[in-house]
Amino acid sequence: MMKLNESYLKQFEMLDSRINEIENSRRKSANSEYVSLPNYVRWKTQVITLLRQVYPSGLFPKALEAKAASSTNKTAEFQFVVGIFWAAYEDFKNGLLDDLQLRIEGGVACDYLRQAELLMDDKEDADYSYIPAAVLTGAVLEKSLRTLCEKQEPPIVVNNENGKPKKAQRMLDDLKKGGVFTPIEARQVEAWLAIRNAAAHGKDDEFTRSDVSSMIRGVTDFLAKYMG
């Protein structure tokens, strides 16, 4: 995650350094002054691309795209884009953005949960498809627990003394001790983990298709609450 933040920061810095270059490319006509269109369009495209990554559903990229669609005065548009860019850059440097790691991992997890739902809808293998769906959903849940441990202040250690990763139950216990989950929430997560473990070890007589459907819905809500 640190490398990802560093990569975004370098891109912000590079785009910031090019603002003067575009300012200095201004040319005057008889009644107006305008920026170099190729330089500006290239820079603006990179700004929008960056802000879409940093603010996937946020205000900044939407504001830029709306302005770009409606503006005919590119010099005035440039000043507007610079202002939005500087605001986003300042927020990023000050750590005011939503947590990038949680949003990125949350998006990936939702994709996997969608795959689990598709497995549940598999008519050709209806008798058994809920078993891999339970395993996949359980993997998403375990990864989410690991991420939540790492995001605590101070972080909860996710490896055992021998350097091997902690099991999901132990991470859950640590999070419960830290007050992240209520006892009721912790018991629900334990129930989902039990379904995952049974599915992974061929004990499909210990849970039902309905249990897995409820598990997928529950883990989806869990991600929305803790990873959204």
Return per-residue pLDDT of the chain as tens, 228 residues.
455 577 888 899 999 999 988 888 777 665 666 677 788 888 988 988 888 777 765 566 666 766 666 556 667 778 878 888 887 888 777 765 555 555 555 666 777 788 888 888 876 656 778 888 898 898 889 888 988 898 888 889 988 888 888 999 999 999 999 999 888 999 999 999 999 999 888 898 999 999 999 999 999 999 888 876
Long-range Cβ contact pairs of 188-193 (< 8 A, separation 24 or more)? 188/218, 189/141, 189/145, 189/222, 192/137, 192/138, 192/141, 192/218, 192/219, 193/138, 193/141, 193/142, 193/168, 193/169
Q: What is the DSSP string of 135-147?
A: HHHHHHHHHHHHH
Name the residue with tokens 């000050």: 94
Residue 44 CB contacts under 8 Å (≥ 6 apart), including other chains: 64, 68, 78, 81
Q: Looking at residue 60, what is its pLDDT?
A: 65
CA–CA separation, 224 vs 228, rounded Å?
A: 5
Question: What is the widest separation between alpha-carbon atoms in the chain?
Answer: 83
Query: What are residue 43's phi and psi, to 5 degrees?
Result: -65, -45
Q: Give the three-state DSSP class for 162.
A: coil
Q: With both helix axes pointing from N to C terminus, report the angle between 37-54 and 59-70 in degrees, rounded to the nearest 10.
A: 150
Q: Looking at residue 1, what is its pLDDT?
A: 47
CA distances from 139 to 134, 180, 226 (A): 9, 20, 16
**Looking at the domain that runs over 100-226, which CATH code has it been given?**
1.20.120
